[in-house]
Structure 1
Amino acid sequence: MTKPNTLIFVDLASDDPSAAGAFYAQVFGWENDARPEGVYHRMVPGGFFKKPDGTDSEIGNLHLGIFKAANARPHPEPEGVEPRGLSTEGRKPRIWVLISDDDSADRILGTAEALGATLLWKNHYWKEFNGYNHAFRDPWGNEIVLWGKAGPDPQIPTDYTRE
């Protein structure tokens, strides 16, 4: 194999993709592209990955899907198969979202909580990757980790935990 396989999409489960699409549109400002409404929603963040000089590259930002847990599409069986419920116990994949330069963790977390999310933790600095991070669980049990750039000479607030 000369080229690696390419990650193209990540999906989150929901028992109400319409509500989940509206949630992520409000929390992150993403376009809620229902395809079709209530069955599968593609969340389109817009914009492009940046080049080192800060200009847009030709690579569009990744999209996120939200599928209906009761009948996850696509699938060869039109009625879907078990399991049909949301996973509520144990560890599951986490989605990492870079905080835009014109947004803030406080605004994102406040909006998410007002819409039914649960704050998991906030105000943590991870030296290994030089970033500030915070996390919440959406109303469907999916975990979202926010990432803020710390910069070349990070000034870590005293109330932040560190590792």
Structure 2
Amino acid sequence: MTNTLIFVDLASDDPAKAGEFYAQVFGWRNDARPHGIYHRMVPGGQFKNPDGSDSQIGNLHLGIFDAANARPHPEPAGVEPRALSTNGRKPRVWILIGDDDSADRILGTAQDLGATLLWRDHYWAEFNGYNHAFRDPWGNEIVLWGKAGASPDVPEGFSRE
């Protein structure tokens, strides 16, 4: 097998609070390992087979690390930089909206907890999906993806590309 993506980490200056944020926004388990230093967000469940049954592959996890001392690192005190990146483009994390959830609920909860709405209600024909985005309180950009399905009926008012 070729190189496999197993994890994506987000920076925070308060991993415990960021863990609570993502637990509330997405309903994920906040697995502190150790608390306040590194938090693994566990969505639970398995990737689906084409027939809708669970596969043997568990859903990917998201990590949250302390920007002041990103672990793991061979040096106990870590290395510079020790601050959150606030300027310019950063990586984005794409989250598929579950069939039992909605963009409205996710965006509303995120905003109630201090996130900034970046945009919403956009249809991207190239990948056949509805998307919306927010910036979490630590500056990380999250893009939500909703399945449009076969022959999508794009709602009035959605922008398109």
Q: TM-score range by the shorter chain?
A: over 0.9
**Aligned sequence identity (%):** 80
Aligned position for 1:7: 5
Aligned position for 1:86: 84
Aligned position for 1:114: 112
Q: CA deviation at 1:158?
A: 1.4
Aligned position for 2:21: 23
Aligned position for 1:135: 133
Q: TM-score, normalised by structure 2?
A: 0.99
User: Which structure 1 segments of 5+ residues have no match?
Assistant: none
Q: Write the deviation string for residues 24-76 of structure 1: whole angstroms up to 9, x where unpaired.
A: 00000000000000000000000000000000000000000000000000001
Q: CA deviation at 1:153?
A: 1.2
Q: CA deviation at 1:9?
A: 0.5
Aligned position for 1:32: 30
What is the distance in 2 between the residues matched to 1:33 and 1:52? 30
Q: 2:43 aligns with which of 10, 21, 45?
A: 45
SS of the aligned residue for 1:151 comes to coil
SS of the aligned residue for 1:10 comes to strand
Letter in 2 for 1:16: D
What is the distance in 1 between the residues matched to 2:109 and 2:35? 23
**How many correspondences in the alignment?**
161
SS of the aligned residue for 1:57 comes to strand
Question: Is the aligned partner of 1:70 residue 2:68?
Answer: yes
What is the distance in 2 between the residues matched to 1:81 and 1:151? 46
Aligned position for 2:153: 155
SS of the aligned residue for 2:99 comes to coil
Q: Write the deviation string for residues 117-145 of structure 1: whole angstroms up to 9, x where unpaired.
A: 00000000000000000000000000000
What is the distance in 1 between the residues matched to 2:80 and 2:149? 46
SS of the aligned residue for 1:128 comes to helix
Letter in 2 for 1:102: D
Question: Is the aligned partner of 1:102 residue 2:97?
Answer: no
What is the distance in 2 between the residues matched to 1:40 and 1:16? 10
What is the distance in 2 between the residues matched to 1:127 and 1:59? 28
What is the distance in 2 between the residues matched to 1:149 and 1:139? 26
User: Which structure 2 segments of 5+ residues have no match?
Assistant: none
